[in-house]
Amino acid sequence: MIDFKVKYHEGTGNLKIDRPVKNDYYTVLICYTGSTSIVVGFHKFELSPNVITIIPPDVIFSISNVSNDLDLRQILFVKTFLQKMFLKEGIIDELLLLNANYPPLYKLNERFQIVADRFIAVKRELELQSAYHLDITRLILMEILYEYNRACEYCLLGFEKNMNRNYQLTYEFKRLVDQYFSKWKTIGQYASKLNISAKHLTEVVKEETGHTALQIIHERLLLESQYLLKHTTISVKECASSLGFETASYFSRFFKSHMTISPNDYRKKM
């Protein structure tokens, strides 16, 4: 468990590059320059300038393809930090309720500088620690969350108008993969649940994502296996079992074919 209520970082800071992690706190990010690829749950997106995103606690995520000019601002906080405010019941939960149907990032456009200034205000309060600095920090953080939700609603209004059947099908497939990746390993199992043919699912997913349906299943398995190998002490055999592989050797062959390194060597190297 973390030992802080709220923190501010500039740059990549606490972010672990090319390593799946799971935090027990919220991370709010805005991007000034550069770009990086982020996987949060079953969402994969690119963080770019003028964008805000929130990575919730207890969700596996990874960051890769970081550009040399990446410049980020981060605010880390636990929910209990905000709960000290005297607000109507449910407001904080509502602001932190992320829509699982969409990647959790939105363009701030003309509001970017306003939000960026609020990030700097948090930094200033935490550095100076003047009277009531935590109370003021809570107010500023609430303002940032309202700005995030406003950007969210604005973007989704336009997004939903343009959402087609293929996107919906691909989303449902990814959601099912996130739920059943340790049990279902074939495209046919997911296609059956979606009441379509495996061929049709393969074609739609490839068209929407540029990846095959099997690649997406394997990517989710690899993400989970990397997390288990790095952040737990379970054996490779136990890891294989939890991921639905019949034997440890089968899992090891699968892992090495994708990562070019064995599970044991990956654990030692990372």
- Tokens linked to 215: 């690649």
Tell me how many degrees the CA angle 22-26-28 measures, rounded to the nearest 5.
115
The tens place of each residue's pLDDT in the chain, 270 residues long, gives 455 788 998 887 677 777 888 899 999 999 999 999 998 888 888 999 999 999 999 888 889 899 999 999 999 999 989 887 776 667 888 888 776 667 788 889 889 999 999 999 999 999 999 999 999 999 999 999 999 988 876 555 455 445 578 888 888 898 899 999 999 999 999 999 999 999 999 999 999 888 899 999 999 999 999 999 988 999 999 999 999 999 999 999 999 999 999 999 998 886
Same domain, 176 and 125: no
Q: Please report whether residue 1 resides in a domain.
A: no
Listed in sequence order, the residues at least 6 apart from 115 whose beta carbon sits closer than 8 Å to its beta carbon are 30, 52, 108, 144, 147
| CB count in 10 Å sphere of residue 225 | 24
The order of strands in the sheet holding 43-47 is 43-47, 36-40, 61-64
Give CA–CA dist 218/254, Å, rounded. Answer: 9
What CATH code is carried by the domain that includes residue 54? Answer: 2.60.120.280
Range of the domain at 42: 6-162
Same domain, 58 and 115: yes
Confidence (pLDDT) at 1: 47
Confidence (pLDDT) at 12: 78
What CATH code is carried by the domain that includes residue 233? Answer: 1.10.10.60
Q: Identify the domain boundary among 133, 162, 191.
A: 162
How many distinct structural domains can be found in the chain?
A: 2
Same domain, 14 and 137: yes
Same domain, 173 and 74: no
